[in-house]
Chain A
Amino acid sequence: MKVSIEVNGETVAEEVEDRTLLVHYLRENAGLTGTNIGCDTTSCGACTVLLDGESVKSCTVLAAQADGHRVTTVEGLAPGDGELHPVQRAFREQHGLQCGFCTPGMIMASVSLLAENPKPTREQVREGLEGNLCRCTGYHNIVNAVIEASGQEVDR
Chain B
Amino acid sequence: MTATEEVPMGFGRMHRKEDARFLRGRGNYVDDVVLPGMLHGAVLRSPYAHAKILSVDTSAAEAHPKVRAVITGETLAGLDLAWMPTLSGDVQAVLATDKVRFQGQEVAFVVAEDRYSARDALELIDVEYEPLAPVVDARKALDAGAPVIRDDLEGRADNHIFDWETGDKARTDEVFANAEVVAVQDMLYPRVHPAPMETCGSVADMDPVTGKLTIWTTTQAPHAHRTVYALVAGLPEHKIRVISPDIGGGFGNKVGIYPGYVCSIVGSILTGKPVKWMEDRSENLMSTSFARDYHMHGEIASTKDGKILGVRVKVLADHGAFNGTAQPTKYPAGFFGVFTGSYDIEAAHAEVTGVYTNKAPGGVAYACSFRITEAVYLVERLVDVLAHDLGLDPAELRLRNLLRPEQFPYQSKTGWEYDSGDYPRALRLALDMVGYEKLREEQAKRREAGGEQLMGIGMAFFTEAVGAGPRKHMDILGLGMADGAELRVHPTGKAVLRLSVQSQGQGHETTFAQIVAEELGISPEDIDVVHGDTDQTPFGLGTYGSRSTPVSGAATAVVARKVRERAKIVAAAMLEVSADDLEWEKGRWFVKGDRAAGKSIQDIAMAAHSNLELPEGVEGHLDATCVYNPPNLTYPFGAYVCVVDVDAGTGQVKVRRFVAVDDCGVRINPMIVEGQVHGGLADGVGMALMQGMAFDEDGNHLGGSFMDYLLPTSMECPSWELGETVTPSPHHPIGAKGVGESATVGSPAAVVNAVLDALKPHGVRHADMPLTPAAVWCALQGRPIRTDLAIP
Contact = CB atoms under 8 A, between A and B. Distances in A.
Interface of A: 17, 19-20, 24, 27, 32-41, 43-44, 46, 73-75, 77-78, 81, 84, 88, 91-95, 97-104, 107, 122, 125-127, 129-143, 154, 156
A54 to B, nearest CB: 19
A143 to B, nearest CB: 7
B282 A40 contact: yes
B706 to A, nearest CB: 4
Contact of A99 (B20, B21, B248, B707): B248
Contact of B505 (A99, A107, A154): A99
A123 to B, nearest CB: 9
6 contacts: A39-B706, A93-B3, A99-B197, A100-B21, A107-B23, A140-B719
Nearest to A102: B197
A75 B681 CA distance: 31
Contacts of A81: 24
A101 B248 contact: yes
A101 B197 contact: yes
A107 B23 CA distance: 8
A20 B2 CA distance: 42
B90 to A, nearest CB: 28
Contact of A125 (B2, B21, B674, B714): B714
A88 B26 CA distance: 13
Interface string B673-695: 01111111110000000000000
Contacts of B675: 95, 98, 136-138, 141
Nearest to B503: A99
Given A17-B116, A91-B19, A99 B25 contact: no
Contact of B197 (A44, A88, A142): A44
Contacts of A92: 15-16, 19-20, 23
Nearest to A74: B25
Given A104-B25, A137-B679, A138-B720, A44 B706 contact: yes
Given A44-B197, A94-B2, A137-B679, A99 B717 contact: no
Contact of A39 (B247, B507, B705): B705
Given A78-B24, A99-B504, A135-B249, A19 B705 contact: no
Q: Which of A33, A81, A98, A122 has the most CB of B within 10 A?
A: A98
A34 B25 contact: yes
A99 B713 contact: no
Contacts of A38: 197-199, 248, 281
Given A99-B504, A135-B196, A141-B678, A36 B713 contact: no
Contacts of A17: 116
B174 interface: no
Given A41-B705, A92-B23, A99-B250, 4 more contacts: A46-B197, A93-B15, A135-B196, A137-B682
Given A41-B705, A91-B19, A126-B715, A154 B2 contact: yes
Nearest to A75: B25
A45 to B, nearest CB: 9
B436 interface: no
Q: Which of B22, B280, B506, B720 has the most CB of A within 10 A?
A: B22
Nearest to A128: B714
B18 interface: yes
B73 to A, nearest CB: 26
Nearest to B251: A135
A140 B197 contact: no
Given A41-B706, A140-B719, A35 B197 contact: no
A101 B32 contact: no
Contacts of A131: 713
Given A46-B197, A101-B29, A138-B680, A129 B714 contact: yes
Given A32-B25, A92-B19, A99 B281 contact: no
A59 B280 CA distance: 12
A135 B711 contact: yes
B215 interface: no
A41 B679 CA distance: 23
Contact of B719 (A91, A122, A127, A129): A122
Interface in B321-354: none
B246 interface: yes
B161 interface: no
B206 interface: no
Interface string B1-39: 011000000000001101111111111010110000000
B281 to A, nearest CB: 4
Contacts of A143: 714, 719
B249 A136 contact: yes
Contact of A127 (B23, B280, B679, B715): B715
Interface in B696-736: 705-707, 711, 713-715, 717, 719-720
B195 interface: yes
Contacts of B506: 98
Contact of B195 (A94, A95, A98, A135): A135
B706 A43 contact: yes
A138 B678 contact: yes
